[in-house]
């Protein structure tokens, strides 16, 4: 993997889109790319762009004060940019980045309103995702991959603890430390969740026990209610079926009578028509016609009055039947007397039942109990009828009676007139007896039919009254069923099938007994079941969660232990090799001397530590294992000198020590690429030449991007970029491929030789 390309737009002085291609050297090494230019041209912005796109969050390290300072701020000749974007293209053909892509583009974009975003191959990601990805690829924004201007000796002036973080990254264990840190955070969160879950369990358990008891009682009540519903189903089903059977029978009878009445009416109409025809044919005088008309008119009047009489009698009969259903209420003294008698009979029956020793003796009391039940039901029925305390028969409607009396008087008068008219006709017909025999015979037949029709009408009226009585009972039963059963009443009316074994009185007794048992159990809120179910589910869920959380804690503890073993093993091996190479490069740069890296453990105490530092160290000893490495110290002694602390070195010597350390790190754990921003500025010509040679040597393992003014470093570069500042305050990039230039120069020399 190597750095392939860098695109910048709107970043600091690179207002326009600027591309930097980083090509490998012609000899197969990773190559050295040098960025040169005068002071203030913006060449160090290249290093800042690389650091920024890799996730750097410190604006101070990017030489700014606010996040928007990385956006081109404009000049007198050019307007400011609205955003800044840097795209880093990495060649991933070797698969070092754990992505199934041959090229990985990491982008970072920021707008002036403060919004920012990170992208990998144009897909938005989190900063943590990029940091983990870079750690797995062994480089990052804060590591030795990007060494900024003036920061070459930062590792020397850093504290031992800060140096340890630096060397951990150099040892390639940063990705494991990130995973360990994430696992530690998850472990703390999991322990906190487990504690909360256990607290909730302790809070729910008492409520669970209480709800379980209530649900058990509710189940008993539910079973009893189901049995009560079944008995009610039989009871009301039997009542409804019996009433329906009677109603159907009355309906069939009524339909037959109505059909017979219609037939009678048809026959009567035919007879009247025939009589009228005979009257036209055989009436020989106006007198006879007048008598005949008067007689017929009287018959019609009688029939009309008879119909009215039948209607009034039907009304009176219906009223009497309805009144009979409202029985006379008992006087209070009578009620008390009968209730007392029922109670005494109950005591006797209970005594007999308790004294019974066999089933036969108990059954012998059943008839007395049935009779007592009937008397109780009869008393209840009489008590429920709101009639006045009177034993007299119900009075009939005076208006109907007066109307009936008037009709009786009118019928009597009409009968008298009919008899008179009939007598007149008989006297008239004495002279024409033979001629009128047929007429009188027909008239007699008509009278018989009229009489039969009246009898049939009375039967029809009686049936209608009886049907009205059944309809009244049906309505009362429907009201009672609706009050007792609610919506289930309709289902019972539609689906009940009688078995023939039900007894209404026994079913009624069972219903009363079960109602009493339900009263003893008492009312329980039906929502208890729902609450118990929800609480039980939540309780089981918390039990499962606590089990899962404990398993997760065990798993995280195991992962952290494994990571600790991996980190320690890799760190120890890398530290030993790093120490040897550090001493080798130190001797190369100084021409001798000795350099060494020393690990500081939790149980150690430096002689130069003050009391505060010692107290801080002691506090750490109580928190972590005493054998854990908590810092790195550096010892460097140039040839011919005896120095106890690196702070006594000169500026140039410190730069050389830092360079030796950086080179040792790159030798042992090379980063895919390294950016050096004027790290050779403090070197003299001799050391600059040595430094350039070391860079050339390491270029076989690491790709270098060097921002420099040093001609020795420039000579080792295979690609040279020049940065210059234009009149509008923006940086412009010029490039030359030194390998191609060298090849062209060699070709020109060959031509000149020829």
Q: Residue 107: which H helix or E strand, with range?
A: strand 103-111
- Using a pLDDT cut of 70, give the percent of the chain over it: 73
Q: How confident is the model at residue 439 (pLDDT cuts 50, 70, 90)?
A: low
Question: Over the stretch 136-173, which tens digit does the pLDDT of each residue have?
Answer: 776 654 556 777 655 666 677 777 777 777 777 666 67
Token look-up 């453990």 returns 601
Q: What are the DSSP calls for 135-199, one per residue?
A: HHTT--TTSTTEE-TT-TTHHHHS-HHHHHHHHHHHTT-HHHHHHHHHHHHHHHHHHHHHHHHHH
pLDDT over 70 (residue 495): no
**Is the model more confident about 16 or about 485?**
16
Q: How confident is the model at residue 124 (pLDDT cuts 50, 70, 90)?
A: very high
Highest mean pLDDT among 226-240, 253-267, 379-393, 643-657: 643-657
For position 719, what pLDDT does the model report?
87
Q: What are the DSSP calls for 432-448, one per residue?
A: THHHHHHHHHHHHHHHH
**Is the model more confident about 688 or about 265?**
688
Backbone angles phi, psi at 39, to 5 degrees: -60, 135
For position 429, what pLDDT does the model report?
62
Contacts of 721 (CB under 8 A, 6+ apart): 20, 33, 34, 35, 36, 46, 733, 734, 735
For position 739, what pLDDT does the model report?
65
pLDDT over 50 (residue 327): no
Per the CB < 8 A criterion, the answer to whether 147 and 677 are in contact is yes
Max CA-CA distance within the chain? 186
Q: How confident is the model at residue 518 (pLDDT cuts 50, 70, 90)?
A: low
Q: How confident is the model at residue 624 (pLDDT cuts 50, 70, 90)?
A: very low
Per the CB < 8 A criterion, the answer to whether 138 and 671 are in contact is yes
| CA 90 distance to own-chain centroid | 44
Per the CB < 8 A criterion, the answer to whether 386 and 329 are in contact is yes
- Helix/strand/coil (H, E, C) string of 296-362? HHHHHHHHHHHHHHHHHHHHHHHHHHHHHHCCCCCCHHHHHHHHHHHHHHHHHHHHHHHHCCCHHHH
CB atoms within 10 A of CB 285: 10
What would the two tokens of residue 298 be?
Answer: 């009287």
Contacts of 600 (CB under 8 A, 6+ apart): 160, 606, 629, 630, 631, 632, 633
**Is the model more confident about 666 or about 556?**
556
**Is the model more confident about 691 or about 503?**
691
Of 90-99, 536-545, 595-604, the least confident:
595-604
For position 118, what pLDDT does the model report?
94
Q: How confident is the model at residue 391 (pLDDT cuts 50, 70, 90)?
A: very low
For position 609, what pLDDT does the model report?
46
What would the two tokens of residue 78 be?
Answer: 């050019």
pLDDT over 80 (residue 220): no
Mean pLDDT, the chain, integer: 76
Specify whether the backbone of 99 is left (phi greater than 0), alpha (psi in -120 to 50) or beta: beta
* Distance of alpha carbon 62 from alpha carbon 71, whole angstroms: 12
Beta bridge partners of 106: 88, 120
Termini Cα distance of the chain = 43
* Distance of alpha carbon 419 from alpha carbon 432, whole angstroms: 20
Beta bridge partners of 90: 3, 104
* DSSP state for residue 81 in the 8-state scheme: P
Backbone angles phi, psi at 643, to 5 degrees: -120, 130
For position 388, what pLDDT does the model report?
46
- Using a pLDDT cut of 90, give the percent of the chain over it: 6
For position 607, what pLDDT does the model report?
42
pLDDT over 50 (residue 283): no
pLDDT over 80 (residue 498): no
Contacts of 383 (CB under 8 A, 6+ apart): 329, 330, 335
* Closest C-alpha to 695, from 707, 19, 684: 707
Domains of the chain by residue range:
1-145+673-754, 330-384
Of 102-111, 236-245, 426-435, the least confident:
426-435
State the CATH class of domain 1-145+673-754.
Answer: alpha beta
pTM: 0.47
CB atoms within 10 A of CB 524: 16
**Is the model more confident about 436 or about 39?**
39
pLDDT over 60 (residue 275): yes
Task: State whether residue 96 is helix, strand or coil.
Answer: coil
- The total number of residues written for the chain in this structure: 754
Question: Over the stretch 706-736, which tens digit does the pLDDT of each residue have?
Answer: 998 888 888 888 888 999 998 888 998 888 7
Per the CB < 8 A criterion, the answer to whether 25 and 32 are in contact is yes
* Closest C-alpha to 205, from 478, 501, 543, 489: 543
**Is the model more confident about 501 or about 141?**
501
User: How many Cα atoms sit within 13 Å of 311 on the Cβ side?
Assistant: 8
* Distance of alpha carbon 233 from alpha carbon 230, whole angstroms: 5
- Mean pLDDT across 41-57: 88
Question: Over the stretch 573-623, which tens digit does the pLDDT of each residue have?
Answer: 878 888 888 888 888 888 888 888 888 877 665 444 445 545 554 554 444
């Amino acid at each position: 993997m190597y750095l392939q390309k860098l695109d910048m737009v709107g970043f600091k002085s690179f207002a326009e889109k600027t591309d930097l291609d980083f090509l490998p050297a012609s000899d197969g090494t990773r190559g050295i790319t040098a960025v040169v230019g005068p002071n203030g041209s913006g060449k160090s912005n290249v290093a800042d762009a690389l650091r920024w796109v890799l996730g750097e969050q410190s604006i101070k390290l990017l030489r700014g004060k606010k996040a928007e300072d990385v956006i081109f701020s404009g000049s007198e000749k050019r307007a400011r940019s609205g955003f800044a974007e840097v795209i880093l293209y990495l060649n991933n053909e070797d698969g070092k980045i754990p992505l199934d892509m041959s090229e990985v583009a990491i982008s970072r974009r920021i707008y002036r309103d403060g919004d920012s975003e990170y992208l990998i191959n144009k897909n938005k990601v989190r900063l943590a995702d990029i940091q983990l990805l870079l750690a797995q690829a062994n480089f990052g924004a804060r590591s030795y991959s990007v060494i900024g201007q003036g920061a070459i000796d930062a590792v020397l002036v850093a504290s031992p603890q800060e140096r340890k973080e630096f060397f951990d990254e150099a040892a390639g264990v940063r990705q494991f430390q990130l995973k360990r840190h994430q696992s530690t955070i998850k472990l703390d969160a999991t322990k906190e969740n487990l504690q909360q879950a256990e607290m909730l369990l302790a809070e729910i358990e008492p409520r669970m026990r209480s709800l379980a008891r209530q649900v058990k009682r509710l189940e008993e009540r539910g079973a009893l209610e189901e049995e009560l519903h079944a008995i009610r189903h039989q009871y009301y089903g039997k009542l409804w079926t019996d009433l329906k059977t009677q109603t159907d029978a009355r309906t069939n009878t009524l339909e037959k009578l109505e059909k017979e009445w219609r037939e009678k009416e048809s026959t009567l109409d035919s007879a009247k028509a025939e009589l009228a025809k005979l009257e036209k044919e055989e009436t020989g005088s106006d007198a006879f016609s007048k008598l005949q008309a008067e007689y017929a008119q009287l018959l019609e009047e009688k029939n009309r009055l008879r119909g009215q009489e039948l209607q009034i009698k039907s009304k009176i009969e219906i009223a009497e039947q309805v009144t009979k259903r409202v029985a006379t209420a008992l006087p209070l003294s009578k009620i008390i007397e009968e209730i007392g008698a029922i109670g005494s009979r109950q005591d006797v029956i209970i005594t007999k039942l308790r004294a019974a020793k066999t089933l036969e003796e108990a059954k012998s009391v059943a008839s007395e109990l049935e009779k007592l039940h009937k008397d109780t039901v009869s008393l209840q029925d009489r008590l429920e009828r709101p009639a006045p305390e009177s034993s007299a028969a119900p009075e009939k409607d005076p208006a109907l009676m007066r109307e009936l009396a008037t009709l009786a008087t009118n019928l009597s008068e009409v009968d008298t007139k009919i008899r008179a008219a009939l007598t007149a006709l008989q006297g008239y017909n004495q002279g024409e007896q033979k001629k009128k025999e047929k007429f009188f015979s027909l008239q007699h037949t008509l009278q018989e039919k009229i009489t039969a029709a009246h009898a049939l009408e009375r039967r029809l009226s009686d049936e209608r009254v009886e049907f009205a009585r059944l309809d009244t009972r049906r309505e009362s039963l429907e009201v009672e069923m609706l009050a007792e059963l609610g919506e289930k009443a309709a289902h019972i009316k539609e689906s009940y099938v009688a078995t023939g074994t039900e007894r209404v009185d026994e079913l009624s007794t069972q219903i009363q007994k079960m109602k009493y048992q339900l009263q003893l159990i008492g009312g329980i809120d039906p929502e208890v079941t729902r609450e118990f179910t929800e609480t039980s589910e939540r309780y089981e869920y918390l039990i499962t969660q606590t089990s899962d959380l404990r398993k997760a804690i065990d798993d995280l503890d195991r992962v952290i232990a494994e990571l600790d073993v991996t980190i320690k093993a890799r760190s120890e091996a890398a530290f030993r090799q790093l120490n040897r190479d550090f001493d080798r490069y130190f001797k190369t740069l100084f021409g001798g001397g000795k350099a060494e890296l020393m690990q500081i453990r939790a149980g150690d105490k430096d002689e130069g530590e003050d009391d505060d530092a010692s107290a801080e160290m002691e506090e750490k000893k109580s928190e972590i294992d005493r054998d854990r490495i908590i810092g790195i110290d550096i010892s460097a002694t140039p040839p011919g000198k005896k120095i106890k602390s690196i702070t006594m070195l000169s500026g140039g010597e410190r730069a050389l020590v830092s360079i030796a350390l950086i080179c040792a790190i790159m030798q042992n754990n090379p980063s895919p690429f390294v950016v050096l921003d004027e790290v050779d500025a403090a070197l003299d010509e001799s050391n600059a030449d040595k430094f350039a040679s070391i860079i050339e040597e390491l270029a076989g393992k690491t790709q270098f991007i060097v921002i420099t003014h040093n001609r020795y470093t420039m000579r080792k570069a295979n690609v040279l970029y020049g940065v210059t500042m234009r009149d509008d305050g923006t940086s412009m990039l010029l490039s030359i491929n030194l390998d191609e230039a060298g090849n062209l120069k060699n070709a020109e020399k060959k031509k000149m030789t020829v």
